[in-house]
Amino acid sequence: MKTVYKTKGTCSRSIEIEIEDGIVKNVIFNGGCNGNTQGIASLVKGMKATDVIKRCKNIDCNSRGTSCPDQLARALEEILSEQN
């Protein structure tokens, strides 16, 4: 299942996420710090969505109250809740 999540409070504008059977298959950040978002996307590929949420949730960027990894975790939570 492929989803586009509109981010809030970050430099990235949206995240394209593909999940299959609870596993993150692909992540593309649109906008944001290119090297960092590519790194995050590469690291989470093949991981269980629940593990990504545990590792990335509540990471803060410059006292914004969120970050690109946190937005990814929030997106994954939303996707998983919609699937149940």
Q: Which domain holds residue 21?
A: 2-83
List the CATH number of the domain containing 79. 3.90.1010
Indicate the number of domains in the chain.
1
- Over the stretch 62-80, which tens digit does the pLDDT of each residue have? 999 999 999 999 999 999 9
Among residues of the chain, what percentage have pLDDT more than 70? 100
How many angstroms separate the CA atoms of 47 and 60, rounded? 21
- Six-digit token pair at 68? 């690109």
pLDDT for residue 84: 74
- Over the stretch 7-61, which tens digit does the pLDDT of each residue have? 999 999 999 999 999 999 999 999 999 999 999 999 999 999 999 999 999 999 9
